[in-house]
Every structure is written in C-alpha cells, then in structure tokens.
C-alpha cells in the first residue's frame, strides 16, 4: 500500500485490539519509514505522479515543490478553504511537510488523513481575529479584506503555525507559502512567497522595524 502511494494505512483485527497497541503502531511507523527511504520509492512516485492540470493552482504547487527542494525549505504552507490546494500539494509527494491552514475546522479535520499534510485551524480565527473556537471565519468580514491588502499578515500566520506544529526550529528556517488573493475564492492559489520562520520582515537574523 505504501509503494502504491496510499495516503494512510491502518491496523485491523488483533493488531489493533491486541495487548500491544503502542508497539504495533511503532512497528507500523518503522515500516513506513523504511519504505519511504527506499531509493526505489521516490522513483515509483515520480513515475506514477499525475500530470499537472493547466491551472494556476497546479502551477503554483509544482513551483512550490521545486522551490522547496532548491532552497532546502522546511515546509510548504498552503492557505486553503476546502482543502483542494493542500490535497494537490500532497499528490506531488514533496520532500517536506505540507502545512495546511484553514479557517474551517471541518476542512482541517478532513486533511488529517492526507499524506504529509499537517492541518492547522487557528483557534483565534485567522490573522489574530478573536472568534469562538467552533466558528468558521467570516470570509466577508473587513478583516479578510484587510488581510487581502496586507499579505504580510498572511505570512506571519504561516510562521506562527509552522512554529506551533514544530516544523521549524530556527529563525532562519525557510517556508514556501502559497495563497490566493482575494481570500474567499476557492481554488484561487495565485501567490507564492519564501519567508524565514522569524517572519516576513526578518532575513539572516536581521528584522526590519517599520
């Protein structure tokens, strides 16, 4: 199943309900790691990879994967509404994790089972807006319009989420961020940006003060 490119595998019967559940999962993880480190695995994934669609979103994702490999980025960050952008990124089987940030908890939960995807649902809504944890972010609110005008706000959210998920551990670690403006348009990924984990105004340990 792993060589076939399955997003997830499961334990069943005695393996799942036996006396050693933790050991079973640990062995399963070792098998996954062994297969994915096999030199034939990546070549098989490349040969079976779907041809990118002639869409801006697919073009952005292909570019993000290449950029991440070239600069040694720690993660690809996708801002997504329904999860489509994150799923397309997962299909490309990048060498780095895909951090999917969504204002919808349902989307974040669905992405948990996708290969290489770390979903994030900001408990403060998006871009620092205080909302109830169970609520979806209001895509028609003035905050979204403001965020559309201030892309640095989006980038800061990407850095926050990457740090919270443990995907970066150094201020100079790089992230490849994809998003679509204006916000609220499904499948409209049209922006790609490289930023250090310290934030969009910080490079080589030096932060610009506005």
Strand partners, 207: 202
Q: How confident is the model at residue 1 (pLDDT cuts 50, 70, 90)?
A: confident
C-alpha torsion sign, points 132, 134, 140, 143: positive
Strand order in the sheet with 191-196: 117-120, 98-101, 75-79, 174-179, 191-196
Instruction: List, in order, residues 6 or more apart from 72 with CB less than 8 Å away.
Output: 174
Tokens encoding 26: 């640990």
Please answer whether residues 88 and 116 qualify as being in contact, where contact means their C-beta atoms are separated by less than 8 angstroms. no
CB atoms within 10 A of CB 11: 14
Please state, for a pLDDT cut of 70, what percent of the chain lies above it. Answer: 80
Of the candidates 50, 105, 90, the one whose C-alpha atom is nearest the C-alpha of residue 178 is 90
Whether the predicted pLDDT of 147 surpasses 70: no
Contacts of 77 (CB under 8 A, 6+ apart): 98, 99, 101, 158, 161, 162, 175, 176, 177, 178
Longest CA–CA span in the chain (Å) reads 60
179 three-class SS: strand
Asked if residues 18 and 12 have their Cβ atoms less than 8 Å apart, the reply is no
Taking only the tens place, the pLDDT of each residue in 155-191 is 888 999 999 999 999 999 999 999 887 766 666 788 8
Q: Is the pLDDT of residue 206 over 50?
A: yes
Task: Report which secondary-structure segment, H or E, holds 25.
Answer: helix 21-36
Using left for φ > 0, alpha for ψ between -120 and 50, and beta otherwise, residue 36 falls in alpha
Question: Do 100 and 119 touch, CB atoms closer than 8 A?
Answer: yes
pLDDT given for residue 130 in this prediction: 41
């Amino acid at each position: 199943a792993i060589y076939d490119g399955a997003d997830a595998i499961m334990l069943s019967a005695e393996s799942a309900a036996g006396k050693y559940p933790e050991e079973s999962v640990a062995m399963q993880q070792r098998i996954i790691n062994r297969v994915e480190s096999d030199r034939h695995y990546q070549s098989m994934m490349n040969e079976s990879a779907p041809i990118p669609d002639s869409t801006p979103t697919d073009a952005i994702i292909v570019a993000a994967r290449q950029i991440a490999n070239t600069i040694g980025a720690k993660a690809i960050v996708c801002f997504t509404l329904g999860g489509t952008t994150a799923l397309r990124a997962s299909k490309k089987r990048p060498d780095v994790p895909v951090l999917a940030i969504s204002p919808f908890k349902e989307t974040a939960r669905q992405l948990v089972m996708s290969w290489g995807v770390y979903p994030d649902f900001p408990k403060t809504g998006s871009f620092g807006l205080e909302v109830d944890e169970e609520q979806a972010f209001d895509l028609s609110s003035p905050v979204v319009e403001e965020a559309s005008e201030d892309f640095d706000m989006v980038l800061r959210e990407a850095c926050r989420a990457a740090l919270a998920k443990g995907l970066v551990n150094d201020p100079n670690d790089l992230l490849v961020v994809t998003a679509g403006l204006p916000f609220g348009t499904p499948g409209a990924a049209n922006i790609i940006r490289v930023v250090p984990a310290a934030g969009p105004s910080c490079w080589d340990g030096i932060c610009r003060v506005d």
